[in-house]
Amino acid sequence: MVKKSPDTARDLISQIAAGNESAFKTLFNNYSKRLFSFALAMTKSSADAEEIIQECFTRLWIQRNQLPAIDSPEAYLYRMVRNRTLDHLRKISREQKMINQVWTNLSQPDRSLEEFILTREYQQLIDQALSQLPLQKQQVYRLSREQEHSHEEIAAITGLSKSRVNNIITETLKFIKAHLDKHSGELGMIFWIYAWNHFR
């Protein structure tokens, strides 16, 4: 009896284009580990590499109607992961440059500013803003601000990627600033200056 040869990447791509979920799972099982290693070599982060692979395969399924035009499925998969990884690395680089630039341009806050930041009234406004956010964002903020963990440490504690931790902190700071702006634009600006000096 002749054994049926396993589906090739081209066969699987054709089936996926037709909406075959089983073929999609097979393609994922066949290539995800190799693609993960490829992304890991570039990012040096398991969490980031895993996130990139999930995003790429999700996009592959969503855009499956475009798959019949692909000549070399395997090369396409590696190219997709490479491009997404490069985008990820560029984003991290831009964020770090922005933070470094802000840090360079800002003068060190004087003692009166720190004392004001620690006043009960100011902290109550920040707590009000935090209470409106999801628990995950509250946790990341408090790990950074109250327990003074680095972004790498927070990523290890929460299981999130470092880039996701960076995004959450940036989003949270912007939300708190907007909340403080409603009470006084000066409060929001003071918080923003202080935050960039302490949430690196």
Whole-prediction pTM value?
A: 0.49
What DSSP state is assigned to residue 132? T
Torsion angle, CA of 191/197/198/200, rounded to 10 degrees?
120
pLDDT tens-digit series, residues 137-161: 989 988 987 788 888 889 899 998 8
Q: For the chain, give the number of residues.
A: 200
Q: What are the angstrom distances between the C-alpha of 37 and each of 7, 21, 125?
A: 23, 24, 45
Check whether 162 has a pLDDT greater than 50.
Answer: yes
Specify whether the CB–CB gap between 125 and 132 falls below 8 A. Answer: no
For the chain, what percent of residues have pLDDT higher than 90?
Answer: 26
Q: 110 pLDDT band (50/70/90 cuts)?
A: very low
User: How far is Cα 26 from Cα 180, in angstroms, rounded to an integer?
Assistant: 51
DSSP state of 152: H
pLDDT of 100 above 90: no
Please state, in angstroms and rounded to a whole number, the distance separating the CA atoms of residues 26 and 139.
Answer: 37
- Which whole-number Å values give the CA distances from 129 to 113, 150, 177, in the listed order? 20, 22, 9
Neighbours of 155 (CB within 10 A): 21
Q: What is the reported pLDDT for 73?
A: 87
Q: Largest alpha-carbon pair distance within the chain? A: 85
pLDDT at 30 over 90: yes
Q: What pLDDT does 81 receive?
A: 93
Tell me the mean pLDDT in the region 18-42: 92
Domain positions in the chain are: 9-103, 133-198
Higher pLDDT, 96 or 52: 52
User: Confidence class of residue 121 from pLDDT cuts 50, 70 and 90?
Assistant: low
Tens of pLDDT, residues 8-17: 888 899 899 9
Query: d(Cα 88, Cα 83) in Å, to the nearest integer?
Result: 9
pLDDT band at 54 (very low <50, low <70, confident <90, very high): very high
CA-derived radius of gyration, the chain = 23
Tokens representing 169 are 């902190």
Q: Per CATH, is 9-103 categorized as 1.10.1740.10?
A: yes
Unique residue bearing structure tokens 């009000």: 128
pLDDT band at 113 (very low <50, low <70, confident <90, very high): very low
Q: Would you call 107 helix, strand, or coil by DSSP?
A: coil
Name the average pLDDT for the chain: 77
